[in-house]
Amino acid sequence: MSAELGQISLILALVLAALLSVLPLVGAQRGNEALMKLAPSLAIGQFVFLAGAFAALAVAFLRHDFTVSYVAMHSNLLLPWYYRLSAVWGSHEGSLLLWMLLLGGWMLAVAAFSRSVPRPFTARVLSVMGMISVGFLLFILFTSNPFERILPGPIDGRDLNPLLQDVGMIFHPPLLYMGYVGFAVAFAFAIAGLIGGKVERNWVRWSRPWTLAAWSFLTFGIALGSWWAYYELGWGGWWFWDPVENASFIPWLIGTALIHSQAVTEKRGAFPAWTVLLSIAAFSMSLLGTFLVRSGVLTSVHAFANDPERGLFILVFMGIVTGGALTLYALRAPRIMTGEGFDWVSRESALLLNNVFFTVSAAMVLLGTLYPLIIDFMGWGQISVGPPYFGAMFILLMTPVVLLVPLGPLTRWKRDGFMRVVRPLATAAIVSIVAALLVCAWLESWSLRAVTGWIGGFWLIGGAATFGLRTARASRSGLARHQWGMVLAHAGAGVFLIGAAMVEAHTFERDVRIAPGETVEAAGYRFTLHEVVEVKGPNWRADEARFSIHRGDREITRMAPQKRHYHRGGQTMTQVALKPGVFRDLYVAMGEELGESGAWSIRVHIKPFVRWIWGGAVLIGLGGLIAASDRRYRGKRKARESAPAAAEATA
């Protein structure tokens, strides 16, 4: 029964979305208050029905309703309840439903928190988002209905892909989609700004907190995905340049450029057209990512049920959304080209450089991802596209960014002197080089990657600290939230850089043969295997090796890697044992049993500073959220007149 309720809810949500995409927009164009006032109510109604549909699917999973074919394909009687719940978004149909639920949630939030924004503008924003809703709901209902029945239903279902039976996978998709879908808000604000009768310069200010929040969620989502790949898939790898990873990384790079160009446009009115373009691009790249993952044009691990028909639908949808937006841009943008001039040495120039590097990086990743398609399209035949070549290009493009990041915030708007900017950073530069050399001496690591990583990392952290201290000293009220956010995010980039450099430079890996009672030594740690026992889980059984790890005379920890055999589907999975630490991760994975002797081959990894990679990413994301929560974005309408002056003073 719940499946039918879900289906009906989806259809009702579609009806409301269709009304939302038309009525408030008409109201805004004609100045009809009544029609504009419908927007929040319609957004609330839509969200209620989307939540109903989502709940209906969740209930079908929890109750083992195998007559719903999506449930039968991705769940079974042995699956524990939390994985049954996360199985709702474990595959194509349900993940789209999650996507829609989150879009509905963003719309609800826009409706609720936009009291300071003029009503016609909010009405337009919600209408544009309503149009996006309509597209996705049609997509779900016509090509990817999660509520389809199979009668009679099977007695038991198949299994959720064991790779996805993991806590990281419970949270990774929702966070990632929060980011993807959140860019729809930035997109809608930009479009609403273009549609608007009179040129609205404030749209950028209204759009900023939403863009920052979306970008932060995307940061968390990508970091979580990387962490999951590290312990579930990789043998210690944390980024693979897989097409699907790239699909999430391209919007992130564009989003990074966008949050910086928004700052310029809001504060100085410079590059307004460019900011509009980036807002369109960020969401379009999210759509493109969806297309690449689900249409089957590229081969990837996230093998969603590939279906050219679905691919075509997304492509047509993307054509309408992005094509329409860019046409509107071409028609309207000339009117908003009202930038103010600036000098070579100025905050504007610094942020322009930021935008150039991040946009070029995004283009580079996009090109690399689509390379096989381009080659095929041009008829250049087959070429070997092996393991990725992105790394070198990326380091090349990001090195100048690392060098320049600390300079940006210390530069004044419009015009500044080069020496005035560089002088306060001299201390940071010297300290970062000396500290890096000291750390490397202490760690006895003199590889080029490690040394440059530490210098770059300390430079970013030191630069952020310099800005924070100087600003705090200069103003009585201390740092504003958006400044705190920036300091945190830039320092987070430094932490990330150190982690990445250390992992790439100094990972220790060894394969050994070990029998119960034996001890192996690796980089100062002693791994003793006590026994290998058989253990049972809800839907698997496993061989579990029990280790104790000593350093010197002290026992640090015990570790128990497993080799799991899943009952349904017959897959074998290696469950690695991890001992995370701030300065290193210990990592033990089981290989094969070697003969009858009871000996096993095992792999031991010691990964220095690997946590700093995700720690840095979390700092970056937190920085974004803190900046998004700044009061200046939530100012009452009246207060805004005086706000730019105040912002000028603190900036």
Partner 1 sequence: MIRMLIPLGVFLALVALLVASLQTGDERKVVQSPLVGKPVPQFSLPGLHDPDTITSRADLLGEPFILNVWGSWCWACRVEHPFVERLGREAPIDLIGFNWKDEREDALEWIGRFGDAWDRHVVDFKGKVAIDLGVYGAPETFLVDHEGIIRHKHVGPIDATVFADLMQRIMELEAQAQ
Q: Are 286 and 251 in contact (CB under 8 A)?
A: yes
Q: Are 556 and 67 in contact (CB under 8 A)?
A: no
Which of 154, 372, 537, 635 touches partner 1 by CB under 8 A?
372
Q: Closer to partner 1 by CB, 384 or 477: give it.
A: 384
Q: Is 518 in the site for partner 1 (CB under 8 A)?
A: no
- Burial (0-12, 13-18, 19+ Cβ within 10 Å), 65: buried
Identify residue 101 by its one-letter amino acid code: L
Q: Is 427 in the site for partner 1 (CB under 8 A)?
A: no
Cα distance between the two ends of the chain: 58
Q: Nearest CA to 632 among 267, 271, 354, 336?
A: 267
Q: Closer to partner 1 by CB, 26 or 367: give it.
A: 367
In the complex, the smallest distance separating the C-beta of residue 322 from partner 1, rounded to whole angstroms, is 6
Q: What is the DSSP letter of 68?
A: B
Q: Closer to partner 1 by CB, 155 or 374: give it.
A: 374
Q: Is 338 in the site for partner 1 (CB under 8 A)?
A: no
Whats the size of the chain, residue-wise? 651
Structure tokens at 168: 């990281």
Q: Closer to partner 1 by CB, 47 or 329: give it.
A: 329
Structure tokens at 194: 């273009």
Q: Is 389 in the site for partner 1 (CB under 8 A)?
A: no
Which of 1, 151, 198, 381 touches partner 1 by CB under 8 A?
381
Q: Is 327 in the site for partner 1 (CB under 8 A)?
A: yes
- Helices within 522-642 (DSSP H only): 610-628
Region near partner 1 per CB under 8 A, out of 310-318, 436-444, 447-455, 620-628: 310-318
Spell out the residues 6+ positions from residue 114 whose beta carbon is closer than 8 angstroms to its own: 122, 125, 206
Q: Closer to partner 1 by CB, 243 or 624: give it.
A: 243
Region near partner 1 per CB under 8 A, out of 48-56, 201-209, 380-388, 628-636: 380-388
Identify residue 132 by its one-letter amino acid code: I
Q: Closer to partner 1 by CB, 9 or 261: give it.
A: 261
Q: Is 301 in the site for partner 1 (CB under 8 A)?
A: yes
Q: Is 326 in the site for partner 1 (CB under 8 A)?
A: yes
User: What gap in Å lies between CA 254 and CA 257, rounded to an integer?
Assistant: 5
Whole-Å CA distances, 299 to 246, 303, 306, 335, 612: 13, 7, 10, 43, 31
- Helices within 405-447 (DSSP H only): 407-410, 418-443
Q: Is 299 in the site for partner 1 (CB under 8 A)?
A: yes
Which of 84, 124, 584, 603 touches partner 1 by CB under 8 A?
603
Q: Is 571 in the site for partner 1 (CB under 8 A)?
A: yes
Q: Are 647 and 205 in contact (CB under 8 A)?
A: no
Size of the site for partner 1 (CB under 8 A): 57
Q: Is 570 in the site for partner 1 (CB under 8 A)?
A: yes
User: What gap in Å lies between CA 512 and CA 175, rounded to an integer?
Assistant: 38
Which of 26, 167, 199, 374 touches partner 1 by CB under 8 A?
374
What are residue 546's phi and psi, to 5 degrees? -110, 115
Q: Is 250 in the site for partner 1 (CB under 8 A)?
A: no
Q: What is the largest CA-CA distance in the chain?
A: 84
Q: Is 22 in the site for partner 1 (CB under 8 A)?
A: no
Which of 4, 340, 511, 521 touches partner 1 by CB under 8 A?
511
Cβ atoms within 10 Å, residue 577: 22
User: What gap in Å lies between CA 68 and CA 97, rounded to an integer?
Assistant: 15
Q: Is 319 in the site for partner 1 (CB under 8 A)?
A: yes
Q: Is 155 in the site for partner 1 (CB under 8 A)?
A: no
Q: Closer to partner 1 by CB, 113 or 241: give it.
A: 241
Structure tokens at 223: 């970091």
In the complex, the smallest distance separating the C-beta of residue 553 from partner 1, rounded to whole angstroms, is 32
Q: Is 311 in the site for partner 1 (CB under 8 A)?
A: yes
Spell out the residues 6+ positions from residue 425 whose beta carbon is closer than 8 angstroms to its own: 406, 407, 410, 462, 463, 466
User: What gap in Å lies between CA 500 and CA 72, rounded to an integer?
Assistant: 41
In the complex, the smallest distance separating the C-beta of residue 200 from partner 1, rounded to whole angstroms, is 19
Region near partner 1 per CB under 8 A, out of 74-82, 205-213, 307-315, 411-419: 307-315
Region near partner 1 per CB under 8 A, out of 22-30, 311-319, 459-467, 518-526: 311-319
Using CB under 8 A, list all residues that contact partner 1. 233, 235, 240, 242, 273, 277, 280, 284, 288, 291, 295-297, 299-301, 303, 308, 311-312, 315, 318-319, 322-323, 326-327, 329-331, 333-334, 370, 372-374, 376-377, 381-387, 511, 569-572, 574, 589-592, 601, 603
